[in-house]
Homo-oligomer: A and B are copies of this chain.
Amino acid sequence: MEELIEYILQFGNLNKQQIELVISKGQILQLKKEDYFSEAGKIPKQVGFIVEGVIRGCYYNNKGEEITRCFISENSLVCDYVNFEANASSSEYLQAVTDCSLIVFSKKNWEELSHIIVGWDNIKNKMVQLCMYQKSRKGPVISQDATTRYLEFLENYPSLTNRVPLSYIASYLGVTQQSLSRIRKNIR
């Protein structure tokens, strides 16, 4: 739980008792590679914090191709938050890319924290907003060519290169797997 607490304290202060309250509401969740954390068409039921592992957001486009939209790794929140809040069904899958250890909060527990910790809403919203902001900033830039997008991916996600299948990275970067393979060859 230490990682989670350290993460939270970036966004505001909590005393020991409040930290205990947060911990008491969280539960450990282990996901096996390819398990879903949440699914398209279903209402997201929990907020997660990744202690170990990689999760991706993905969906199927109208050609039936599977597209990876984002990667989330250690020490980050994982949740389709807007739909979690609105009790609306999600349009994408959140799927474990590797075996994962998470700390998760049910909707009930997550909401209770707002009632029992003064200032929790403030921390919570800063966390969620930073999360959304970073996703939009660390993603591939559409105006760059594929090689540049791959090089920036390596910079932004150095720890992912060897634990994520090439096909996921390819659809994330908007190129075919074959093109990405060729790009990697040309870089060396």
Show the binding face of A for B, using Cβ within 8 Å. 61, 65, 67, 81-82, 85, 91, 121-122, 125-126, 128-130, 132-133, 135-137, 140-144, 171, 173-174
Q: How far is the CB of A26 from chain B (nearest CB, A)?
A: 22
User: Main SS of chain A's interface residues?
Assistant: helix
Contact between A142 and B140, CB atoms less than 8 A apart: yes
A174 to B142, Cβ gap below 8 A? yes
Number of this chain's copies in the complex: 2
Does B128 lie within 8 Å of A82, measured CB to CB?
no
Q: Of B121, B135, B174, which contacts A143 at CB under 8 A? A: B174
Q: Which of B121, B130, B174 contacts A121 (CB 8 A)?
A: B121
Residues of B close to A132: CB separation below 8 A: 129, 132-133, 136
Determine whether the beta carbon of B174 is less than 8 Å from that of A129. no
